[in-house]
Amino acid sequence: MVTELDARWNARDADAMSKLFAPDVDFRIYGITQYRSRDEFRLHYQEAFATRVPADVRHATSLETVRIVASGTAVLDGEVEVGKPGAPASEVRHFYYTALAIYRDGSWVFDTFRVAQKSGPAR
């Protein structure tokens, strides 16, 4: 899922990216911005890709832990880097994420997703 998220983000394909999320996803960035549906999420990224995200900026997600908490339900944790390839570390944005993934209608989707800015030096 995280590999597909990166591929779709880097292709600037908000429609395909949104399909990785449940229709009623609860997606929150920094505890401030919240999207409560796949459509809200898709519209946000369509606009962001068209107006704010430079074409040479890349999204790279690492998956650090996966914990199965029930049949068809898993908690994922990891980090995300967003920046231009080869950019100095000070110019790359670093985030933590925690996601709840569920198996719904024959595939895994993100049901809840939380993103927080990482502070301190990159590792």
Neighbours of 62 (CB within 10 A): 12
Which is nearest to 103 in space by CA: 75, 63, 73? 73
**List of E strands, the chain:** 21-29, 33-35, 58-70, 73-83, 93-104, 107-117
122 is a domain residue: no
Whether residue 69 lies inside any domain: the answer is yes
pLDDT of residue 123: 46
Is residue 123 domain-resident?
Answer: no
- Cβ neighbours of residue 105 under 8 Å, at least 6 residues apart? none
The rounded radius of gyration (Å) of the Cα atoms in the chain is 14
Q: What percent of the chain has pLDDT over 70?
A: 97
Residue 55 lies in a domain: yes
Residue 38, domain member (yes or no): yes
For residue 69 the two structure tokens come to 């908490």
Query: How many structural domains does the chain have?
Result: 1
Looking at the domain assignment, is residue 100 inside a domain?
Answer: yes
User: What is the mean pLDDT of the segment spanning 84-92?
Assistant: 94
- Residue 55: CATH number of its domain: 3.10.450.50
| Domain of residue 10, residue span | 2-117
Structural domain includes residue 74: yes
pLDDT band, very low/low/confident/very high, at 21 (cuts 50, 70, 90) = very high
pLDDT-based confidence at residue 98 (cuts at 50, 70, 90): very high
Residue 59 within any structural domain of the chain:
yes
